[in-house]
Amino acid sequence: MEKRQQQKEATPVIYLKPSKGWLSIDFNELWRYRELIYFLTWRDIKVRYKQAVLGIAWALLQPVLTVLIFTVVFGVLLQTPSQGLPYPLFAISALLPWQLFANALQRSSISLVGNANLITKIYFPRLAIPLSSVMAALVDFGVSFFVLIGMMVYYRYLPGWNLLWLPVIILFALLTALAVGLWLSAINVQYRDVQHMVPFIVQVWMYASPIVYPIEIIPAGIWRTLYGLNPMVGVIQSYRWALLGGDQPDATMLISIVVVIFLLVSGVYYFRRMEKTFADIV
Amino acid sequence: MSEIAIRVENISKQYRIGVLQERPDTLRDLLTTKAQRAGRWIKRGGASQYEGPAHIWALKDISFEVERGQVLGIVGRNGAGKSTLLKVLSRVTDPTLGFGEIHGRVGSLLEVGTGFHPELSGRENIYLNGAILGMRREEIDRKFDEIVEFSEVGKFIDTPVKRFSSGMYLRLAFAVAAHLEPEILVVDEVLAVGDAEFQRKCLGKMSDVAQEGRTVLFVSHNMSAVLRLTQETIVLDQGKMVMRAPTPEAVDHYLNMGLTKQGERFWSGEDFINQKAPFVPVALRVLNLTGQVVDTVNAAEGFSIELVYQLTEDITGLRVGIYMMTTRGEFVFTSFDTDDPQLYQQYTVRTQGRYISRCRIPSNLMNEGRYVLGVNASVYRIQRFFQDDKALTFTVDATGAPGMQWPEPRLGPVRPKLEWKIGKVER
């Protein structure tokens, strides 16, 4: 009863008015809706593996099959250098953060349109939708991480203390995906061209990142600096470093961080500006 | 306790129409239209963006207040702006102009089952849908059994809802939504689901909600539900608020809107779908004693109703009739032109041509009020050629009717002159 009373006194007042200008994130509100983000993430994962015989095992199979292909084509046939690592290990250590990124990007960019029925009927912070798509990708990543562990055991690689950096690097990969995903999902609400473009963006981006080849292939100097504009270069390099050792991430990592911060902040503002119209045009 | 729950001032919402041509769906379109628009804008000298025929006001200058604990009905025809208003109030979309304030959390029931996923089980959907509607997890845990019981899907609760019958699906969806506990509940047309028994249950739940002192905005096309649940109602028409009144009055007003006046109704080709039907209605009229077409007739004098129609081929067994209804949709009577066995024999076959079926409504039958006439032309159990349940409305005036010495309104649609005898019983 007392609790009731308190609730009544704290009746929130919501103001309805035409939206103007740029809005920042309301973190309090996002926090209040954390359970919604959780349930949307949970739904995405659940639905993805429903009625599939292998279920969540697909999250293991996909990286395994991809590494197999890469190893045959790039490792065996093309004899691509791999920083002195066994090629499969070299590939998987880049493939995991890449698939996390690509998955998160693909899911988030179509997420708003895919949830149009919710957006047009019910109010909640719209950021919850791309956020939960990115989170869902993280679950897949967690599962496929076992592939990496298995391969490290097989090749007898023991990670060093650099491993402690891993959570930070994974977070960075997620933020990168979120930054781009915010932009693309908001644009996709009005221009469905985006969802046709995304597969190509992902493909081009993959070859523009040091996944199947080592970064040394890119000439040092100005080219390497330009290459660093791709934030996934920093992610993949540091991820490999954290797990398998080798050269420490250099100044390219700094460029990547700056690029991601820029994309993320602008993405959030663009998203917040557009979200008021989502229900009307989706 | 007259706290304000909702207050809106001059809320307006504008949409662009001709969306298909106007809206740039691809980037290329965007670039060309942006260029064109820039050109136009420069020509106009930078006029306001709210001009031009390509825009429509879905809501215009809506202002009202709702007190805490009040149940307010919102009625209006399709496209009147009801759903847009609810969307603005539940913050799904922003108003274009105006201002509003809402005291308390808003829970919306805009179409039940929003956010249900067909692949997930009933149990999973309860949690998902609950979260989408704004319930906390422990709240759902607490109410879970109650929800399942209310929905009557019991043993199927772990079956994917795609295997549910549509009735089960809707019952479950409504059950989740009905167990929301926001301070303000916005309900749009949820009672259109399920069988009669379930509808009754839904209505019961709705009035429970209202009695708990929560504010409810109730949108429906079901006038009897609106009458039962609300005391006051807003009538919307073409985005404007045309009336706010006690519900019976507002409902009468709504039902009369858009019905033709003048005691006469004509049909043109587009009004009926079955254009190949051999029965073509032409006009329906209400006539007074002197044969004039009028909107208001006198109950004490009686009046006539006539239907003019064209038969494009011979029809066997045709009957043409009227329904008399109150504006609330209650039937007063039904009558057909071949009710009389003699006429029935005489018009077994109606040859093609133009006809008038006219009936006389006796004096001292109808009570005062506004009535709706429906028309039906059919061959019993074989074919219905034409039906229009709201063909015409007219007013009955009770001057000179029985009992007019007491100026109180009489209940009931009929006001017959009955023969009374009064005798003193001697002991």
Which DSSP letter does residue B160 get? Answer: B
Residue A118, domain member (yes or no): yes
Q: Provide the domain count of chain A.
A: 1
Domains present along chain B, CATH in parentheses: 4-11+63-256 (3.40.50.300), 18-53 (no CATH), 264-397 (2.70.50.60)
- Asked if B11's CB is within 8 angstroms of A124's CB, the reply is no
Residue A1, domain member (yes or no): no
Rounded to 5°, the CA angle B130-B132-B135 comes to 45
Q: What are A193-234's pLDDT values in tens digits?
A: 888 999 999 999 999 998 888 888 888 888 888 888 899 988
Q: Give the A-side interface with B, CB within 8 Å.
A: 11-19, 35-36, 38-40, 42-43, 46-47, 50-51, 117-124, 190-193, 276, 279-281
Residue A71, domain member (yes or no): yes
Q: What is the interface pTM, i.e. ipTM, of the complex? A: 0.80
The minimal CB distance from B93 to the residues A39, A40, A279 is found for A279
Which chain A residues are closer than 8 Å to B11 by Cβ? 16
Q: How far is B127 from chain A (nearest CA, A)?
A: 8
Residue A114, domain member (yes or no): yes
Residues 103-142 of B with CB under 8 A from A: 103-106, 108, 110-111, 114-115, 117, 119-120, 124, 127-128, 131-134, 136-137
What are the pLDDT tens digits along chain B (427 aa)?
568 889 999 999 988 765 444 444 566 656 665 666 555 555 554 444 444 456 788 899 999 999 988 889 998 876 788 888 988 888 888 888 999 999 888 877 766 667 788 888 999 999 988 888 888 889 899 999 999 998 888 889 999 888 888 778 888 888 888 787 788 888 876 555 556 677 777 777 777 777 787 888 888 776 777 887 888 999 998 889 999 999 888 887 877 665 445 678 877 655 554 556 788 888 899 998 888 888 888 888 899 999 999 888 899 999 999 999 988 778 899 999 999 999 999 998 999 889 999 999 999 999 988 899 999 999 988 888 888 888 888 888 887 888 888 877 788 899 999 999 999 998 7
Say what the pLDDT of residue A266 is: 93
Residue A92's alpha-carbon distances to A169, A269, B265, in angstroms, are 16, 35, 78
CA distance B112 to B206: 14
Residue A244, domain member (yes or no): yes
Residue A4, domain member (yes or no): no
Q: How far is B38 from chain A (nearest CA, A)?
A: 20
Residue A10, domain member (yes or no): no
Residue A13, domain member (yes or no): no
Q: How far is A253 from chain B (nearest CA, A)?
A: 34
Which chain B residues are closer than 8 Å to A279 by Cβ? 87, 92-93
SS (H, E, C) B165-232: CHHHHHHHHHHHHHCCCCCEEEEECHHHCCCHHHHHHHHHHHHHHHHCCCEEEEECCCHHHHHHHCCE
Which chain A residues are closer than 8 Å to B131 by Cβ? 35-36, 38-40
Contacts of residue B85, Cβ cutoff 8 Å, sequence gap at least 6: B11, B59, B62, B74, B236
Domain boundaries, position A58: 26-75+84-281
Mutate to test the interface with A, among B16, B63, B93, B181 (most CBs of A within 10 A): B93
Nearest CA in chain A to B83: A121
Query: Cβ–Cβ contacts within 10 Å for residue A201, how many?
Result: 16
Rounded to 5°, the CA angle B339-B340-B343 comes to 105
